[in-house]
């Protein structure tokens, strides 16, 4: 696998974004899903559908960041 060059600042910024997605955004999304479930029938629940789509988006973004961070090489600035 070819290493992608990145500065320490860029690496730190990506790590912070990943941590934010995992600790803040996924938790917020889980709350949205729980609230949407309380509206009843999930097959006709637009709030639930939107929250699940957001969950899939967040999960994909987290996976992409993790893969990216695994393939970087920190370069001096």
In a domain, 59, yes or no: yes
Question: Is pLDDT above 80 for 76?
Answer: yes
Residue 21's CB is within 10 A of a number of other CB atoms, namely 16
Work out how many domains the chain is built from and give that number: 1
Query: Do residues 68 and 5 make contact, with C-beta atoms less than 8 angstroms apart?
Result: no
Contacts for 66 with CB less than 8 Å, ≥ 6 apart: 18
Query: Do residues 70 and 15 make contact, with C-beta atoms less than 8 angstroms apart?
Result: no
Query: Do residues 76 and 9 make contact, with C-beta atoms less than 8 angstroms apart?
Result: no
Digit-coded pLDDT (tens) for 13-68? 999 999 999 999 999 999 999 999 988 888 889 999 999 999 999 999 999 999 99
In a domain, 3, yes or no: no
Q: Is the pTM of this model over 0.95?
A: no
CATH number of the CATH domain containing 27? 1.10.287.180
């Amino acid at each position: 696998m070819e290493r992608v060059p990145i500065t320490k600042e860029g690496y730190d910024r990506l790590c912070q974004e990943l941590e934010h997605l995992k600790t803040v955004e996924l938790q917020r999304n889980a709350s949205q899903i729980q609230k949407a479930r309380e509206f009843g029938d999930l097959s006709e629940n637009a709030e639930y559908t939107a929250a699940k789509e957001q969950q899939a988006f967040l999960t994909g973004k987290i996976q992409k960041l993790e893969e990216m961070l695994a393939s970087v090489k920190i370069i001096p600035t």
